[in-house]
C-alpha cells in the first residue's frame, strides 16, 4: 500500500531550480514530522530537510540558503524547493514521515533529519543536475 508519493524530479542544469512534491495519507501528515532525504549512487542516504507539526525546520548544512521545505496540511502535502542547484545535489529524493516525536530533536535544533526517526517512506523521485 503506497502511502507517500513524490513528484517533481527531473533533469536540470547547474544553477537551476526544482520543486519536489509529496502527497499521501492524511494520517501520515498529521504526525510529528515530515522530511526529505536523498541518496546518490554509492553514497549513504542523508537527510536534506525536515519540518515538524509546529513548522520548525532543519536543513543539511550543504543546502542551507538554497532549499526550503514547506507543508500544506489541507492538501496532505509537503514540498521541497531547491535553487542554485549543484551537480552534487543529484540523487534520488525520498519523502518520509515520522510517527514518533524523536524527530523533534532535529527540527527544534534546526538540524537535518535522521533517517532512524522516520518510519514511512515514498518510492522516491530522481533529480539529476548537470554541469
Place of cell 509529496: 22
The pLDDT tens digits for 55-75 are: 999 999 999 999 999 999 999
pLDDT band at 28 (very low <50, low <70, confident <90, very high): confident
pLDDT of residue 30: 87
The pLDDT tens digits for 73-117 are: 999 999 999 999 999 999 999 999 999 999 999 999 999 999 999
DSSP string, 27-83: HHHTSSEEEEEEE-TTS--EEEEEEETT--EEE-GGGTTTEEEEEEGGGTEEEEEE-
**What phi and psi values does residue 58 have, to the nearest 5 degrees?**
-140, 145
On whether the CB atoms of residues 79 and 19 are closer than 8 A, the answer is yes
Query: What cell numbers appear for 55 in the block?
Result: 513548522
User: pLDDT above 90 covers what percent of the chain?
Assistant: 92
Amino acid at each position: 500500500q503506497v502511502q507517500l508519493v513524490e513528484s517533481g524530479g527531473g533533469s536540470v542544469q547547474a544553477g537551476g531550480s526544482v520543486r519536489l512534491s509529496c502527497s499521501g495519507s492524511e494520517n501520515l501528515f498529521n504526525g510529528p514530522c515530515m522530511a526529505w532525504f536523498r541518496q546518490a549512487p554509492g553514497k549513504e542516504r542523508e537527510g536534506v530537510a525536515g519540518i515538524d507539526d509546529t513548522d520548525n525546520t532543519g536543513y543539511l548544512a550543504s543546502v542551507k540558503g538554497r532549499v526550503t521545505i514547506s507543508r500544506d496540511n489541507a492538501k496532505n502535502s509537503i514540498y521541497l524547493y531547491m535553487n542554485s542547484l549543484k551537480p552534487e545535489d543529484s540523487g534520488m529524493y525520498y519523502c518520509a514521515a515520522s510517527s514518533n516525536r524523536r524527530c523533534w530533536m532535529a527540527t527544534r535544533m534546526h538540524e537535518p533529519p535522521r533517517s532512524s526517526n522516520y518510519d514511512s517512506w515514498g518510492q522516491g523521485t530522481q533529480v539529476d543536475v548537470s554541469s
